[in-house]
Chains A and B, each alone.
Chain A
C-alpha cells in the first residue's frame, strides 16, 4: 500500500518536471538571442506563458493552461525560425516533449487520485497495469514523433523521394491541410460536469 501512495506524487510531479525542463530550454534559447530588442520582444510571450501557467495552476482553468503552452511554443518557434535557426533534431524533441507533457498531465489527472484511495491489492494491480500500458503507448508515440520526421528529412535531402517540385509540394500541402481540417472539425468531447 505504501508503494501505491508513492505513485501519486510521482505521477503528479512528472508533468511539472517536464514543463520546467521546457521552460528552462526556452529561457536558455532566449538568452542566446544576440539582438537585445528581439530578446525584449520575445520576453513578452515568455512571461505571458509563465503567468498563464501559474494562473492555470492556481485557478484550475483549462483555457489558461492552453494559452500558456501556446505562448511557450510560440516563443520557441519564433526565436528559432527568425533568429537562431532551426536544428531539426532538437526542434522535434522539443515539440514531442511538449505533446508528451500534455499527455502526462492528462494521465496524472486520471490516475494519481486513484492511488490515494485505500484500494485492495487486486485493484492496485489492475490500475497499475493500465497505467503501464498507457505509458508504453505514450513512449512509442513520442519516439515515433521524432524518428519518422527525421527519416523523412533524410529521405528528402538524399533525393530518394522527389518532392521538391512546386506542384507536388502544393498537392502534398493541400492533402495535409484537408486531413488536418477533417480531424479538427470532428466533434470534440464535451466537458463532463461530473
Chain B
C-alpha cells in the first residue's frame, strides 16, 4: 500500500527541490497544496499518512502548530529553509512536530526525506477529523440544537451564514446583525425553511462569519421565530412521544 504525504509549498513550480526528491521515492503518493486553508480541506477530504510544510521556519512552524490543534494524530514535519533554529526547536518538540532541514546538499535532503517517508510506513494511520479554521463555529446537531446555536448567534449580533448538513440535505440560514435574514432548504425558503431546520436532530453545522445574503425571505424578529418554532417542535415531539 502506498504512503500518502501532503505537502504545503507556496511555490511548487519554482521551489521544487524537495518535491522533485519526493517524486522519486517509490511507493509514495504526494499531493501538494499552496496554503493552510487548502491543507485543511485536503486533510478533511482524504487520508494522509504525513504532512510536510515547507518554507520559512517561523511561518512553517506556526502553520504546523495550527494544524496540530485540529489533526492531533497526524505526523507533521516542517522542512525549514536556512537551517534549524534553537527557538523553533523547543516549540516543535512541544507540538510533536518534526523539523527537517533543507541544506545545500541534495543527497542529504534525499536521505532526510526518505527517512521521514519510511518512518510513516511503520505507523500509517487515519488522520483524525478536524475543523476548518475558516469556520468560526462548528458542531453536531445532536449535541446542540439549531435553536440553541441560532439563539446564541443572534444574541451576540452575528452576521454570517450557517450551513446545516444532514441526511435530509443541506440548508443555509443567513444572519445579519443578530437577525435571521434569509433561510433556504432545497426549494423551501424563509420561515418554512427555519422551521424545517429546527426539527433536525442529526447532522453537522458550521458558521462562516461575514457572508451576507442579498435576498431577504424572513422578516420577523428572531424571538418570535424562536417561540413559534419551539412551540411547533414541542408539538411534534409530543406526537412522536419523545
Partners in one complex: no
Chain A residues in contact with chain B, CB under 8 A?
A: none
